[in-house]
Amino acid sequence: MNWGTKLIIGMLSFIVFIVILGIIMMRSETDALIDTNYYEKGLKYDKEYLQKEQVIKDNALPTIQLLGQDIHITFKTEASGSLRIIRMAKKSMDRHMDFNTGNNKTLVLRSHGLAKGQWKFILQWKNSSGGAYLNEQEILIP
């Protein structure tokens, strides 16, 4: 077998490899995108950035603690807003809820419905004086 034959076999092998990868990609049901509306989210990024900076400026970072079977989210002041709990590995496990802490400034969630592993908590809230905040934290549920 001479070098020309080996070159043709190598090129054909590479072409078959690329075609197989293309077929696998076309048959996959999901894309790797986390958000389906990332263009709209990109247009609103300035607002989100200002809300994240406001958390730092006002020293309003909430604390998230795992205590037994409960997840305690403690705010500096009374808060009302929304919480998105995102599972990076499986979008169908994501959750969304609205909350109002009242006077105790603490939001308590049961963790028994959440699978073990890495979760991302996205909190968007307003305090009693009208300040808008956004915070993202990752926690590990053992």
Please write the tens of the pLDDT for every residue from 39-72: 888 888 899 999 999 999 999 999 999 998 899 9
Q: Is the pLDDT of residue 140 over 80?
A: yes
Write out the two tokens for 114: 């959440």
| Same domain, yes or no: 78 and 121 | yes
The domain tally of the chain equals: 2
9-32: per-residue pLDDT in tens? 999 999 999 999 999 988 887 666
Tell me the CA end-to-end span of the chain in Å, nearest whole number: 59
**DSSP symbols for 48-107:** HHHHHHHHHHTT-PPEEEEETTEEEEE-SS-EEEEEEEE-TT-GGG-EEEEEE-GGG-EE
Q: Which residue range is the domain that position 112 belongs to?
A: 39-141
User: What pairing do the DSSP bridges indicate for beta strands 132-141 and 79-86?
Assistant: unpaired
| Same domain, yes or no: 21 and 91 | no
What pLDDT score was predicted for residue 105? 92
81-110: per-residue pLDDT in tens? 999 999 988 888 999 999 999 888 999 999
| Same domain, yes or no: 21 and 78 | no
| Same domain, yes or no: 5 and 68 | no
| Same domain, yes or no: 15 and 68 | no
| Same domain, yes or no: 19 and 64 | no
Rounded mean pLDDT of 104-126?
Answer: 92
